[in-house]
Amino acid sequence: MCCYLDYEALVGAAAALARRQLVLTFPRESWWMRLGLAAVNLIERLRRRTFRVYVHPPAATVARSHGLEPTARHRGRLWEFCGLERTDAAG
């Protein structure tokens, strides 16, 4: 998700296709990650590359709208993961 600007569309598509489970990994939403990724983006810009990285709000809200609920979560210093499972009968 960190390399995709429209994370809502990406998570929404993945959640809609998930039969039972979905696992998301993404940069932790913290000031030091924002600072570090801003530095990465500056370097990429100076190198005239279009690649960018992003820190997005937690994506569980998008996944919930597709019938998935968080069942596992781990926050490391830099990265975070969220495991989600389908709760509706449509999956």
**pLDDT digits 0-9 by tens, 76-89:** 999 999 999 998 65
Rounded to two decimals, the pTM is 0.77
Q: Is 57 helix (H, G, I), strand (E, B) or coil?
A: coil
**pLDDT at residue number 90:** 53
The whole-angstrom separation of Cα 52 and Cα 27 is 13
Q: List the one residue out of 85, 90, 79, 88 whose CA is nearest residue 60.
A: 85
